Amino acid sequence: MNVSNAVLSHVIGKIYDCVVDPGLWDDALDEIRAAIGSHNAALSLHDRRTGKELISILRNFDPVWLPTMAKHLPDVFEPLILRPAMMETEAAVYSRDTDPIIDAKIERYRQEWAIPQGLSDALGIPLIVEEDTIASFGAGRLSSNGNYQPHEIRFAELIAPHLRRAVTISNVLDVANVRSEFLEAALDGFTTGVAIVDGDSRLIHANKKAQEIFDRGDALRLEAEVVTARGNAARASLKSTVSIAARDEARLPGTGRGIRLGDIDDTSALAHILPLRAGERRNIVPEGAAAILIKNRQSVATDSITVFAGAFELTRAETNVLAQLLNGATPEGIAKALDISENTVRTHIRALFGKTGTNRLHQLVSFAHQLMR
């Protein structure tokens, strides 16, 4: 039985509420468990430099088995999340059906931990995979309920970008202990730039860090009190994402990893959009539709196609296909050049259409060229 759109929207709203009240993660994970028929669920945000767990939520885990789980996770967790094939495809979800590669360590984990508890299938979502931070969601299924079904995996795929966006924003703000006291007066305490805007990106409030960024005008700026980005691609993506966040957060586009804005003092800036219209988030600023959070990151390549890819949250594979299209290659030629099937090329092209709002190759190429000028 498929999960309804009403349930999907409700769960997504719960996920975003957790940004301003981390105490709600227990309820959110229980809602996700119910929607995908899971016995247990876990959410973690891990600082790989210090070994500290910034977020660690476990739902319906038997405490007796937690030491065994802790013993196996270092050998299973990061190698699974960091597998090169998964990083290349930027897979949203993996399960036994979608990721059948089982090495000896994972098999031992199953034999010593999962199977004795009656667990058969597992499902996971990589959320953040960076040099200093790793985050993921995972869930387990009782053997009596069979393996995860396609519609349940699809539900996980639909909530993946929203989980990723919520956990990323929590990490950006470092709000492990913040609850609904996240009010306008408190925003100046953040070292991250935070701007509260309405659905048309008109500024309602900016903290000190955001105001500094506006004053410099190098990545985000104010034009007639409207928050806008410097480059055409980033400007279009920021405007549309804020507009969608104000109307229907469940339709927020992209992977949830953020909108690349450009360079700030030799670092690359990302904007993360938190919708504020519903749930606990309404209490931040009553008239606010969205919060724009600006985070500096270490500089990466800043050529025009990289900026375009960041603004529209293209995967590496989609960016490679777009680069070939911009050079005049046909789908057949791209398949040969990248050593992939023509069907795979066309799948990436369909994804490019969806992310850029185009529906023809000439429109896609023209749109990309226009924004990369």
Please report, for the domain that includes residue 75, its CATH number: 3.30.450.40
Residue 45: domain span: 5-173
Is 228 a member of any domain? yes
- State whether 359 and 249 are in the same domain: no
Residue 95 · residue 37 · CB < 8 Å: no
pLDDT for residue 299: 37
Among 300, 332, 356, residue at a domain's last position:
300
Q: What is the CA radius of gyration of the chain?
A: 21
| Backbone CA torsion sign across 206, 210, 211, 216 | negative
- State whether 117 and 15 are in the same domain: yes
- State whether 118 and 68 are in the same domain: yes
The mean per-residue pLDDT over the stretch 354-371 comes to 83
- State whether 14 and 162 are in the same domain: yes
- State whether 275 and 136 are in the same domain: no
Residue 182 · residue 18 · CB < 8 Å: no
Of 232, 373, 202, 216, whose CA–CA distance to 292 is shortest?
Answer: 202
pLDDT for residue 282: 75
* Separation CA 78–CA 86 (nearest Å): 12
Strand partners, 222: 227
Return all residues near 52 (Cβ < 8 A) that are at least 6 apart: 46
DSSP sequence for 10-56: HHHHHHHHHHH-GGGHHHHHHHHHHHHT-SEEEEEEEETTT--EEEE
Identify the CATH number of the domain in which residue 234 sits: 3.30.450
Is 184 a member of any domain? no
**Strand ranges (DSSP E) for 143-202?**
193-197
* Separation CA 141–CA 148 (nearest Å): 7
| φ, ψ at 120 (rounded to 5°) | -115, -60
- State whether 153 and 235 are in the same domain: no
Is 196 a member of any domain? yes
Say which residue the tokens 């009010």 belong to. 183
The mean per-residue pLDDT over the stretch 132-154 comes to 88
Is 335 a member of any domain? yes
pLDDT for residue 268: 60
Least confident of 55-59, 107-111, 188-192, 277-281: 188-192
pLDDT for residue 189: 63
- 6-52: pLDDT as tens digits: 899 999 999 999 888 888 999 999 999 999 999 999 998 888 777 77
pTM (predicted TM-score):
0.74
How many domains in the chain?
3
